[in-house]
Amino acid sequence: MLVSNVYFWRESGYFEQIVDVKPLLHTWSLALEEQFYLLFPFLLIAFKRFSRKSLVPAILLLCGVSFSLSVYCSYKHPSVNFYLLPTRAWELLIGSFLAAIPAQRASTRWLAELLSCGGFLAILCAVFFYDRETRFPGVAAILPCVGAVLVIWANGHTLTYVGKLLAARPIVFIGLISYSLYLWHWPVLVFSKYLALGPIPQSQRMLLLLASMVIAILSWRFVETPFRKRIILKSRSQIFTFATITMAMLFLAGLAVLKLQGLPSRFPADVLRYADEKTDRPFLKESSLKEALNGDFIELGTGDKHLPIDLLVWGDSHAQAVMPVLDILCKEHCIRGVAAWHPGTAPLVGYESKGRLSLKEESIAFNNAVVEFIRSKRVGDVVLVARWRAYGTGGETTQLQRGLLDTISALKDTGARIWIMRQVPEHLWNVPHALASAVLHGHDPEELGLPLTEHHKAQRRQDQIFGGVSAPGVTVLDPTDLFVSPKNLCRVAEGGKSLYRDKDHLSVAGAMMLRPLFEPIFERIVKSPALVRSKGVSH
């Protein structure tokens, strides 16, 4: 557990297994605390030896350095910022600072009440207004951290109204079982997701929380309390002997599971085949802004850099997902293509993408560089592919549509033909996991799929966006019909293979389903006189 935060940081890439199915993910915070508690005492010992007066300034200095690093990494390295100690230490150091300063009473009762209430409101604001798009930690973490400091400090001598509320017996009891509840709540939720295909309803989530609390109470009463109060293992030698034996057993069990590669033999072969589709993702290397400015994009097709570029696929991770079929078609037609893609970054001129792993502030410069590359290399055909429903949310539909129209205008100025692929059907659950689960429970995996009516309902905003796209040289491609089953479901499996690697990214098998959609592009390219001339020149 000591380094689980490092493990999850290394697995935090865009296409790694989704966090919702990692039952020990929550141990990252325990690892971070353990690392802090191992290192911080050495700092205390050092300052006690040299100068006790410099302890508080030193804590503030370390806190400032850690916070500055956190703010920087929240923009440049969000995974590092979330999981690793250097960027999270300031949150713990604030508590150390509070413990190190002399205890003082607020000058007046009303000031203590004001600070306590303000701190409590700050915490509530973070709880109710922060979401997945909030850059956290970083500047946003100030609100809950400082709020906690204010509540603790204001209640140091006499309880305020907020302090009395938090001292109520039910809330104190939740505090007593909080560690056990933290340990149990996430595995309970994750293992329930293994049994459910779709999102768990709110009512069931509340039942799961209640079940977690029951388990936590039992764990606190019969495991945590006896160990903490030394009802069992009363002497240090007993504690160390028990810890040594337990660690050795866990190490050997973990080593055995590692050597046996997770004991895959416990599952049927078809279950493993579906489950393995989550790793089916070639062309993982994405394009950075620097590479876009240098015109250094991913090669498709012939790979012969002496040939002109006839095709460019441009988009986010959904563009990356369709690259296998475009690569094959390029090779079959002896065409050189390139791909410019970056996760969470819409292929739209003048549009700033704001996703967790998007280029964010650099997205506009990235897209301008792609257009300039198309212009300078005289690329004949450009294919735009994206998870369109992920953009223009929160009333930004008009902005998204304007970005699409501006992109079409910019590409038409280069002389390129434009092909825009609408989004493939997006499911509510992780497809490889659902298929594996279906087989495991004796169901037909090819009977799974999003109802076509639900897909059309989800596409309504896209209908509004693409409805205004009509111009010579612009073609909108809709992949929906290629995935519809006779039962009007958007298929997720065919021939024993998953068509998706998660809920919305196609697998290689899924990408191959798009071949009829893309073949007209290559027929146009092959018939192009420009291609004939370029091939004549190359020879």
Res 393: pLDDT: 66
Beta-carbon contacts of 526 under 8 Å, excluding residues fewer than 6 positions away, are 333, 335
Res 184: pLDDT: 94
Task: Break the chain into its structural domains and give their ranges.
Answer: 282-426+460-480+508-529
315: β partners: 341, 385
pTM: 0.78
Give domain 282-426+460-480+508-529's CATH number out of 3.40.50.2000, 3.40.50.1110, 3.40.50.300, 3.40.50.970.
Answer: 3.40.50.1110
Return the ∠ at Cα 423 (arms to 417 and 427), rounded to 5°: 165
- 3-class secondary structure, 219: helix
312: β partners: 338, 382
Listed residue (3, 65, 19) closest to 356, CA to CA:
19
Res 105: pLDDT: 65
Beta-carbon contacts of 37 under 8 Å, excluding residues fewer than 6 positions away, are none
Listed residue (35, 39, 40, 42) closest to 1, CA to CA:
35
CA dihedral 363, 367, 373, 379 (to 10 degrees): 140
Res 536: pLDDT: 38
Give me the tens of pLDDT residue by residue for the chain, a chain 539 residues long.
788 999 888 877 655 556 667 888 899 999 999 999 999 888 888 877 777 677 888 889 999 999 999 999 988 888 899 999 999 999 999 999 988 887 666 668 889 999 999 999 999 999 999 987 788 899 999 999 999 999 999 998 889 999 999 999 999 999 999 999 999 999 998 888 877 766 788 888 899 999 999 999 999 999 999 988 888 888 888 888 998 999 999 889 988 888 887 777 777 777 777 777 777 678 878 888 999 999 999 999 887 888 899 999 999 999 999 999 999 999 999 999 999 998 889 999 998 887 766 777 788 999 999 999 999 999 999 999 999 988 876 556 678 888 899 999 999 999 999 999 999 999 988 898 888 888 887 888 878 888 999 999 888 877 877 877 777 889 999 999 999 998 899 999 988 889 999 889 999 999 999 999 999 999 989 887 654 434 433 33
Which CA distances in Å does 530 have to 150, 309, 376, 415, 519? Answer: 70, 11, 15, 12, 19
Res 82: pLDDT: 92
- Strand 489-491 versus strand 493-494 pairing type: unpaired
Res 394: pLDDT: 58
d(CA 275, CA 268): 11
